[in-house]
């Protein structure tokens, strides 16, 4: 007869070595094949095997939830929630230190308010950075600010094991302030884990990207004296290892987005000009990749004003750079021949075909003439508008709310030679012109006809007390047009709203 063998399960090949970041194997190594004289010795192995399958299923579900988080704050909150379920805690907090690439400390709490986190931040460091010897906490170095010193007694970098305080009121070697804060917030034990990438820096001068190495730490708090079991520590360590890699990717992505947003903002006007008789306001919301929408307001000689808005195909850094070149060129043409908007856009179209042959652009240019000064005229300003594939402006006043009938024209770069007639508007004192990007309409999620109607209705319902304040008008229009739930139908679209009120 042959000896009995333990049952086999696909994907499991015991024994499995314990990961390096645990201080002891979380799951005991399964025994060798049972002796023939012990026919019932396979039952404990089956129990262990069932436990392994359950643990793998739990980790799979938790990491799947974490992988669906798209921003840093959501990922940190999911990390805290999942870690609390793994170690059996009720509250916790996680901190990313500045060297992770965030530029400043980021602290998120679970079951802790801002005041509670503030109390925890008053706990002194476990090691004095000014004292001799290494200071190996996650915030070691010349940092200043409200860091979570509760996490400063973690093992040095490279050691991914955690730190347990199973009975904080009974630990005599803890700082009195630590025990005081624990009593005030009602926790009696804690378990902290570093957030450390598997591929950390190899030396003090290692050139590593943001998010590599130790990027922060997480701590979970227990209401009563307690500590996680070896199995719980093992699962929490595995989960935090995956979470660290995910956070590192999000940190890098967030940094890239912030860089693109900063670059884009620098290419747009930092402030609006002040022109007698016209007050301006602008609202600008950028999509996640940075789109090609832009605006401009340029004072011209003799009290005139040039207003422009437009968009270029594509998004991302390339489109942002092209937008900057297009806007700079339009400014030059506006200074030279701004009183003729058709000529300005014709020059811009020629430049676009020569320098950006693979792109098209929409644009709307308005030349606001200075007020009439001839004796007996007493007329207000005249605005000359020319458009190339862009949405018509909306004029709002006590007696009318209507779209300006500009000539229908193709975008720049689509025809061999662009030219379309301009139109003249004579806004009365107290009236307002609204220039907007098509992203404002797309973000509503409605058809274009319904979106235009929605914008017109929003402009018509501006409270009477706000009709002479362009800032209030812009806020009211955006608040009324865009979805109230904050989840736009097309979040990738840029939104630009330029408001010009004529006094």
What are the structural domain ranges in the chain? 47-200+209-260, 268-502
Position 189 scores a pLDDT of: 94
Helix axes 230-267, 42-67, angle to 10 degrees: 10
Average pLDDT of the segment spanning 285-293: 69
Residues 218-243, mean pLDDT to the nearest whole number: 93
183 vs 200, higher pLDDT: 183
What percent of the chain shows pLDDT beyond 90?
44
Contact yes or no for 66/80 (Cβ under 8 A): no
Would you state the pLDDT for residue 298? 94
Determine the average pLDDT of the residues in 55-63: 91
Least confident window among 286-300, 460-474, 480-494: 480-494
- Segment 355-374 mean pLDDT: 84
Q: Give the ranges where 356-469 is alpha helix by DSSP (H).
A: 438-442, 448-460
Q: Using pLDDT thresholds of 50, 70 and 90, give the confidence band for residue 490.
A: low
Quick one: pLDDT at residue 43? 77
Q: Where residue 290 falls among pLDDT bands split at 50, 70, 90?
A: low
**Of 143-152, 230-239, 247-256, where does mean pLDDT reach its minimum?**
143-152
Cα dihedral: 333, 336, 339, 341 (round 10):
-20
Looking at the predicted structure, is the pLDDT value of residue 128 above 50?
Answer: no
pLDDT at residue 451 is higher than 90: yes
Percentage of the chain modeled with pLDDT above 70: 75
pLDDT at 20 over 50: no
Confidence of residue 212 (pLDDT cuts 50, 70, 90): low
At residue 279 the predicted structure's pLDDT band, cuts being 50, 70 and 90, is: very high
SS3 265: helix
Task: Report the pLDDT value the prediction gives residue 126, as an integer from 0 to 100.
Answer: 59
Mean pLDDT of 92-98: 86
Per the model's pLDDT, the better-predicted residue between 92 and 42 turns out to be 92
Q: Name the pTM for this structure.
A: 0.58
Domain covering 268-502 in this structure, CATH number: 3.60.40.10
CATH superfamily for domain 47-200+209-260 = GAF domain (3.30.450.40)
User: Cα separation of 29 and 289, whole Å?
Assistant: 49
Specify the pLDDT at position 7: 44
Interatomic CA distance for residues 218 and 78, integer angstroms: 12
pLDDT given for residue 148 in this prediction: 61
Instruction: Answer whether residue 397 shows pLDDT above 60.
Output: yes
pLDDT at residue 372 in the model: 64
What's the confidence (pLDDT) of residue 264?
A: 67
Q: What is the pLDDT of residue 199?
A: 54
State the average pLDDT over residues 65-70. 92
Tell me, letter by letter, the H, E, C secondary structure of 189-252: EEEEEEEECCCCCCCCCCCCCCCCCEEEEEEEEECCCCCCCHHHHHHHHHHHHHHHHHHHHHHH
């Amino acid at each position: 007869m042959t000896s009995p063998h333990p049952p086999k399960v696909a994907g499991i090949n015991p024994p499995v070595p314990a990961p390096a970041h645990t201080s002891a194997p979380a799951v005991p190594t399964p025994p060798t094949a049972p002796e023939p004289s012990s026919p019932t010795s396979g039952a404990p192995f089956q129990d262990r095997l069932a436990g392994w399958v359950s643990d793998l299923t739990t980790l799979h579900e938790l990491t799947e939830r974490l992988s669906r988080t798209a921003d840093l704050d959501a990922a940190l909150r999911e990390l805290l929630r999942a870690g609390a379920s793994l170690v059996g805690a009720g509250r916790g907090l996680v901190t990313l230190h500045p060297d992770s690439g965030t530029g400043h400390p980021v602290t998120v709490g679970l079951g802790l308010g801002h005041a509670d986190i503030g109390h925890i931040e008053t706990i002194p460091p476990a090691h004095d950075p000014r004292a001799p010897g290494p200071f190996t906490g996650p915030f070691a170095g010349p940092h200043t600010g409200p860091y979570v010193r509760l996490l400063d007694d973690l093992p040095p970098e490279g050691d991914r094991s955690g730190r347990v305080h199973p009975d904080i009121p009974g630990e005599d070697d803890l700082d009195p302030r630590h025990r005081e804060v624990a009593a005030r917030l009602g926790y009696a034990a804690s378990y902290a884990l570093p957030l450390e990438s598997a591929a950390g820096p190899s030396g003090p001068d290692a050139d590593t990207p943001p998010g590599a190495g130790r990027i922060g730490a997480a701590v979970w708090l227990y209401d009563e004296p307690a500590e996680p079991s070896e199995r719980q520590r093992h699962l929490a360590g595995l989960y935090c290892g995956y979470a660290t890699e995910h956070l590192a990717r999000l940190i890098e992505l967030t940094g890239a987005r912030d860089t693109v947003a900063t670059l884009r903002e620098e290419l747009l006007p930092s402030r609006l000009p002040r022109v007698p008789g016209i007050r301006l306001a602008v609202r600008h919301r950028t999509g996640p990749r940075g789109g090609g929408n832009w605006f401009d307001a340029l004072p011209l000689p003799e009290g005139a004003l040039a207003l422009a808005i437009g968009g270029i195909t594509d998004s991302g850094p390339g489109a942002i750079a092209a937008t900057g070149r297009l806007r700079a060129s339009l400014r030059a043409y506006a200074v030279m021949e701004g009183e003729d908007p058709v000529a300005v856009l014709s020059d811009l179209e020629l430049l676009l075909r020569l320098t950006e042959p693979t792109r098209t652009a929409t644009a709307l240019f308005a030349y606001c003439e200075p007020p009439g000064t001839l004796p007996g005229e007493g007329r207000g300003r005249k605005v000359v508008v020319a458009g190339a594939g862009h949405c018509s402006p909306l004029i709002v006043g006590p007696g009318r709310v209507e779209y300006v009938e500009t000539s229908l024209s193709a975008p720049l770069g689509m025809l061999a030679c662009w030219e379309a007639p301009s139109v003249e508007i004579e806004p009365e004192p107290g009236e307002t012109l609204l220039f907007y990007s098509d992203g404002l309409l797309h973000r509503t999620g409605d058809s274009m006809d319904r979106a235009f109607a929605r914008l017109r209705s929003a402009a018509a319902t501006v409270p009477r007390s706000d009709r002479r304040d362009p800032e209030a008008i812009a806020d009211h229009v955006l608040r009324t047009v865009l979805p109230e739930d904050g989840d736009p139908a097309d979040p990738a679209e840029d939104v630009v709203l330029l408001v010009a009120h004529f006094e």
